Structure 1
Amino acid sequence: MSTSFVVQYIVIALIVLASALYAFRKLAPALTNRWMASASIRFSQPGHAAWVRAFGRRLQPKQATGDCSDGCSTCSACGPKPPASAKGDAMPLEFRPRQR
């Protein structure tokens, strides 16, 4: 196997890994936030080198600010909107015959 094939397989593996991590983060945000927080705590301990502590600070997940754009889903206020008919803003359907 030549070197170009090895490099090609490594690049493909990195792309697949990045895609899987992105999808996992989108599908399970609470779980990945817990994992990122625990990794951040481990890397940020005082006994590590400065670059390791900086990496740990970078891994720290964003904190929920109580804003509806956080996606924290703690208050259930950001859930799906009720249909228009439930609000009383219902618009009646109008059926018209086909034009010939």
Structure 2
Amino acid sequence: MSTGLLIQYVVIGLVVLASALYAFRKLAPLLTNRWLAAASIQFNQPNHAAWLRALGRRMQPKQATGSCSDGCSTCGACGPKPPAAAKSDTIPLEFRPYKR
């Protein structure tokens, strides 16, 4: 196996891994936030090296601030809007029993 082919495989593997992580992050955000928080706590121990503690602080997931831009959906204001009220010129359906 040549060096160029090995580099190509490594680059393609990294791209596939990055896209899989991105998709997993988009599809399961609560699970990935829990995993990031657990890893951040493990890395940010006082007996670890400074670079490892800095990595732990950087990996820490963002907390919900309660503003409308963080997407936490705790207040329900960011969710879908309720349907508009029915117009007055519409007639509601009436279901009657079938007569033979």
Same fold, judged at TM 0.5 (above): yes
TM-score bin (small chain): 0.7 to 0.9
TM-score, normalization by structure 1:
0.79
CA distance in 2, matches of 1:31, 1:76: 21
Percent identity reads 76
Which residue number in structure 1 is paired with residue 97 of structure 2? none
Q: How many residues align?
A: 88
TM-score normalised by structure 2 residue count: 0.79
Measure the CA separation in 2 of the matches of 1:43 and 1:8: 32
Taking only aligned residues, the RMSD between alpha carbons, in angstroms, comes to 1.8
Which structure has greater helix proportion?
Answer: 1
> Where do 4+ consecutive residues of structure 1 move more than 4 Å?
none
What's the offset of the Cα at 1:73? 2.6
Deviations 1:21-68 (A, max 9, x none): 111111111111111000000000011000000000000011100012
- The secondary structure found in structure 1 opposite 2:58 is helix
Which residues of structure 1 form unaligned runs of 5+? Answer: 91-100
Q: Whose radius of gyration is greater, 1 or 2?
A: 2
CA distance in 1, matches of 2:2, 2:68: 52
